């Protein structure tokens, strides 16, 4: 696989490449979704072709198709009790490694897979690091039935408990609503800043019609931050995750 020239793609590539150090034969791996995760899946495909023995659980149809085409052995979440590791991208991460995910619309499967994994490594670049989550619109997955009622409940919650106002936009794919792999809509909440992400995550989750939000609270164990020059920096919990190589 060709290394991209210095710049944002090189940063994603570098983060994905570094994540391979944490993968060893015999692992059950969650495979994330998005452009950074796609680099990782490509690289994993090369390693599998070279003899690495892993089995992957994809977090979206997109990743499933990519991994299958590369010959990575795949299974479903229900066929494994636990995963050893999930490697996925993020739209934002803060200093506590809380995340916003779902920019690619796969937040539900991503969260199901991440919470079934012993460890989560986030591969990302410096542009995703924030002091407060929320500049990136927060995706919330909602059932289609009565979605405008759900939107109103979300609006009331945000205005009543968090900030004075919020723009909520149903995500589109061209002229039609975007539909997730699970058959739901996504509402993008333009919040600008989230002061209490834990509280917001739980309160959103309690609303009828909401399936889940893109807030990943205390799920990530490590963030690999790729830089445009191809170097990486690691943000880690204590005790830190150790590479196998």
Count Cα atoms within 13 angstroms, Cβ side, for 32: 31
Q: Binding of ligand 5RP at residue 30 (CB under 6 A)?
A: no
CB of 60 to ligand 5RP, least distance (A): 7
Q: Which of 45, 89, 209, 226 binds ligand 5RP (CB under 6 A)?
A: 89
* Euclidean distance between CA atoms 103 and 136, whole angstroms: 9
Catalytic residue among 2, 65, 81, 110: 110
* Euclidean distance between CA atoms 213 and 141, whole angstroms: 6
DSSP state of 74: B
Asked if 85 and 56 count as a contact pair (C-beta separation under 8 A), the reply is no
Q: Binding of ligand 5RP at residue 45 (CB under 6 A)?
A: no
CB of 15 to ligand 5RP, least distance (A): 9
110 is catalytic: yes
What region does 210 belong to: left with phi over 0, alpha with psi -120 to 50, or beta?
A: beta
Q: Phi then psi for 190, rounded to 5 degrees?
A: -90, 90
Q: Which of 45, 56, 103, 137 binds ligand 5RP (CB under 6 A)?
A: 103
Residue number, 54 or 90, with CB nearest to ligand 5RP: 90
Judged by CB under 6 A, the number of residues near ligand 5RP is 18
**Residues noted as catalytic:** 110
Please report, as ranges, the residues that interact with ligand 5RP according to CB under 6 A.
Answer: 32-37, 88-91, 101-107, 110
């Amino acid at each position: 696989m060709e290394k991209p020239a210095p710049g944002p793609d090189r940063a994603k590539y570098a983060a994905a490449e570094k994540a391979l150090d944490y993968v060893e034969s015999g692992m059950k791996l969650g495979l994330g979704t998005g452009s950074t995760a796609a680099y990782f899946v490509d690289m994993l495909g090369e390693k599998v072709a070279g003899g690495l023995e892993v089995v992957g659980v994809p977090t979206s149809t997109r990743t499933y198709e990519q991994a299958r085409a590369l010959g990575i052995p795949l299974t479903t979440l229900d066929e494994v009790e636990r995963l050893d590791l999930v490697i996925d991208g993020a739209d934002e991460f803060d200093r506590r490694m809380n995340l916003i995910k779902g920019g690619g619309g796969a937040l539900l499967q991503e969260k199901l897979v991440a919470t079934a994994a012993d460890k989560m490594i986030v591969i990302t670049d410096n542009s995703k690091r924030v002091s407060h989550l929320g500049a990136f619109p927060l995706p919330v997955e909602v059932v289609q039935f009565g979605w405008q009622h759900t939107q109103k409940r979300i609006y009331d919650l945000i205005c009543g408990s968090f900030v004075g106002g919020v723009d909520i936009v149903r995500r589109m794919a061209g002229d039609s609503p975007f539909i997730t792999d699970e058959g739901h809509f996504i509402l993008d909440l333009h919040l600008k800043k989230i002061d209490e992400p834990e509280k917001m995550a739980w309160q959103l989750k309690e609303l009828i019609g909401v399936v889940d939000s893109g807030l990943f609270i205390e799920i990530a164990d490590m963030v690999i931050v790729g830089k445009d020059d191809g170097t990486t920096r690691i943000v880690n919990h204590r005790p830190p995750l150790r590479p196998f190589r």
